Amino acid sequence: MSDLRDLYQEVILDHNRRPRNRGALAAATHRAEGFNPLCGDRLVLELAVRGDRIEEVRFEGEGCAISTAAASLMTEAVKGRSLPEVERLHAGFQGLVTGRPSAAPADLGALEALGGVAEFPMRVKCATLCWHTLKAALRGGEQVATTE
Ligand code: ZN
């Protein structure tokens, strides 16, 4: 049980209870949906990108505590960042949760809270769903209308 308690540490519980940046984004320039069939986590991610910077990001969806906390933490981490910085964060995060640190270490900040996921292979996809969805959105998979 103590392992599980480590996984659901305070930061994760807090972001699950009070997700940051949750809701729809009226002026979204990028949008993608993500689904993790392993756990049933669903996610809609909307971004407002200007130049090479993510100015705003919001998410909606239903999922487990890990997927909700991961999305909440990710939105805080990438908001206001340039796309190369986001790329570096993603690589660093992927290394953190798979237990294979990336060659280019990034300052992950609060994202470190999800490091315990590396001990639970079934949970890795819960933690990385939002990042895969972010990548899909940035690739321009499904655009939505914008007032710009
Ligand atoms: Zn999940």
Centre of ligand 1 from the C-alpha of residue 145, in Å? 30
| pLDDT-based confidence at residue 9 (cuts at 50, 70, 90) | confident
Centre of ligand 1 from the C-alpha of residue 40, in Å? 6
Which residue in the block uniquely carries the two structure tokens 């689904």?
Answer: 35
pLDDT, tens only, 66-80 = 999 999 999 999 999
Distance of alpha carbon 83 from alpha carbon 5, whole angstroms:
34
User: Which residues have their alpha-adjacent CB atom under 5 A from ion ligand 1?
Assistant: 39, 41, 64, 67, 126
Model pLDDT, residue 104: 66
Model pLDDT, residue 106: 76
pLDDT, tens only, 77-96 = 999 999 999 999 999 999 99
Which H helix or E strand runs over 58? strand 53-62
Among 97, 81, 103, 87, smallest CA distance to 129 is for 97
CB atoms under 10 Å from CB of 145, counted, come to: 8
pLDDT, tens only, 28-69 = 999 999 999 999 999 999 999 999 999 999 999 999 999 999
Selected residue with higher pLDDT from 144 and 24: 24
Beta-sheet strand order (sheet of 41-50) = 30-36, 41-50, 53-62
Centre of ligand 1 from the C-alpha of residue 97, in Å? 14
Centre of ligand 1 from the C-alpha of residue 35, in Å? 10
Question: Is residue 100 pLDDT above 90, yes or no?
Answer: no
Centre of ligand 1 from the C-alpha of residue 28, in Å? 26
The mean pLDDT value of the chain amounts to 89
Distance of alpha carbon 16 from alpha carbon 93, whole angstroms:
19
Model pLDDT, residue 148: 28
Distance of alpha carbon 93 from alpha carbon 106, whole angstroms:
8
Over residues 125-145, the mean pLDDT reads 82
Tokens of 24: 């729809």
Question: Is residue 6 pLDDT above 70, yes or no?
Answer: no
Give the distance, in angstroms, between the CA of residue 140 and the centroid of all CA atoms in the same chain: 17
